[in-house]
Amino acid sequence: MNICVVGAGYVGLVTGTVFADLGNEVTCVDKLGGKINALRAGRMPIYEPGLEEMVARNTADGRLSFTTDLASAVRRAEIVFIAVGTPPKADGDTDLSAVEEAAKGIGAAMDRYMVVVNKSTVPVGTGDFVRDVILRYQTQRVPFDVVSNPEFLREGSAIEDTLRPDRIVIGAPSQQVAMTLLELYAPLERPMIITDVHSAEMIKYASNAFLALKISFMNTIANVCEAAGADVTQVTKGVGLDARIGPAFLNAGLGYGGSCFPKDTDSLIHTAARLGHDFGILRAVVEVNRRRVPQFVEKITKVLAPLEDKVIAVLGLAFKPNTDDIRDAKSVDLIRLLWATGATIRAYDPVAVDNARAVLPASVRYASSAYEAAEGADAVVLVTEWNEFKAINLERLRVLMRRPLVFDGRNLWEPERMLRVGVEYYSIGRKPVVPSL
């Protein structure tokens, strides 16, 4: 098939590249000329394992191309995917201005029947909105259909998630229209569910809201565990083995971040309110998440105060491993709070330093390794659970530090190991480790 993907950001670029790898002719469109030129030169705007190689292969084979010319890409396509950003507004509602702009351009260029697919995460009812915009801006009265096909990609494993998704959701106005998407996705041989458009739009938000609920619930359990002297990792294992619950998204830590969960929970709360429903349980989920970093900083301050003359090494800046994305990253909130106390911050991340520089205070120092960050530090704070941190030489870390003190925001290390090494250790929902002198 000939496919146009509007938006060469995270979702659009990964989706378009995978479709090309499956043998389709794909044109990715973006209004940012600099991004398109970089992609043509083989430079990726995001870090995603395996993406650069897949883009290079399909570009070389002529199946994948990049342009700023939306009209020409639309006229060549049988299916047009809208995969533009939908950031939150100040009140928590979803900003659909990029979706509207894409729909205008599609309507103006459309010269024959085609299927327009909302791939962006959008509130229920957006399919109707896109249809209305296209109708208003059509220069030729040709038929079209609007489909909802939400993405369920996890940054760091997006290619795998696209090739082997748990399910493919197709919200279409009719079975006949759905068949176009079924044919496109057929090579993946994955479970597909066909719904109406509104239900498909709700599935995405309901899924992310439920996962956010699991995270905040377990973080609240972690607070109780700390007060009671229980071990949240043991509690998590016992709860996760219940087949009705499962182990995914139960790890206690600093809370959820990134480009999806924060904005999707806020958007669903706003959408529910607009429809006359107070989503109280989801508002509680958001509030629990908001308090995670301040509570962790309170723990650090209690142990290490005063912080004015302290050097604190922060390991991990990306919101999760295997990505350079720092949108709503817990590291940003934590560093800003620590910096406000007068502490000196020395940070390290395998891939996200350049993105962090743009948003963190200018006084933050950046190290080339975890060991360099820890040298002479009064404390190490683990924020992102990169594999290289899991395998770190704790004995070497202890020797480098001015005070062997570690705050683990992801429960990456085992307390027993810290005790053997002689490191004072504070984690989430577990007893502190204070080696005897």
Query: Average per-residue pLDDT in the chain?
Result: 96
382 and 305 within one domain:
yes
116 and 57 within one domain:
yes
Domain-terminating residue out of 153, 168, 195: 195
CATH of residue 85's domain is 3.40.50.720
Domain-terminating residue out of 160, 195, 230: 195
156 and 20 within one domain:
yes
160 and 230 within one domain:
no
200 and 186 within one domain:
no
Alpha helix ranges (H) inside 229-365: 232-240, 261-274, 280-304, 330-340, 353-357
Asked if residue 356 has pLDDT above 70, the reply is yes
Q: Catalytic: 4?
A: no
In tens, the pLDDT along 95-125 reads 999 999 999 999 999 999 999 999 999 999 9
Quote the percentage of the chain above a pLDDT of 70.
100
- Phi/psi class of residue 193: alpha, beta or left (left: φ > 0; alpha: ψ in -120 to 50)? beta
160 and 46 within one domain:
yes
Nearest to 428 by CA among 189, 236, 240, 194: 236
Asked if residue 310 has pLDDT above 80, the reply is yes
What is the pTM for the complete model shown? 0.92
CA distance linking residue 87 with residue 303, whole number of Å: 38
309 and 161 within one domain:
no
Output the pLDDT for position 328. 94
Give the phi and the psi of residue 43 in degrees, each rounded to 5: -100, 125
CA distance linking residue 230 with residue 435, whole number of Å: 19
Domain-terminating residue out of 195, 222, 237: 195
Describe the chain by its helix, strand, coil percentages, rounded to 5. 45, 15, 40
Asked if residue 285 has pLDDT above 80, the reply is yes
Asked if residue 437 has pLDDT above 70, the reply is no
pLDDT-derived band at 65, boundaries 50, 70, 90: very high
Would you state the structure tokens that stand for residue 213, as one six-digit string? Answer: 């609920």
- Report the pLDDT averaged over residues 207-222: 98
Structural domain harbouring 107: 2-195
Output the pLDDT for position 50. 93
- Report the pLDDT averaged over residues 281-294: 98
208 and 354 within one domain:
yes
262 and 386 within one domain:
yes
DSSP structure class, residue 433: B
Output the pLDDT for position 418. 96
Per annotation, catalytic residue among 4, 28, 225, 260: 260
191 and 247 within one domain:
no
- Report the pLDDT averaged over residues 383-391: 96
CA distance linking residue 88 with residue 86, whole number of Å: 7
Output the pLDDT for position 156. 87
Q: Taking the CB of residue 269, how many other CB atoms lie within 10 A of it?
A: 22
In tens, the pLDDT along 358-382 reads 999 999 999 999 999 999 999 999 9
56 and 119 within one domain:
yes
Overall number of domains in the chain:
2
Output the pLDDT for position 149. 97
336 and 323 within one domain:
yes
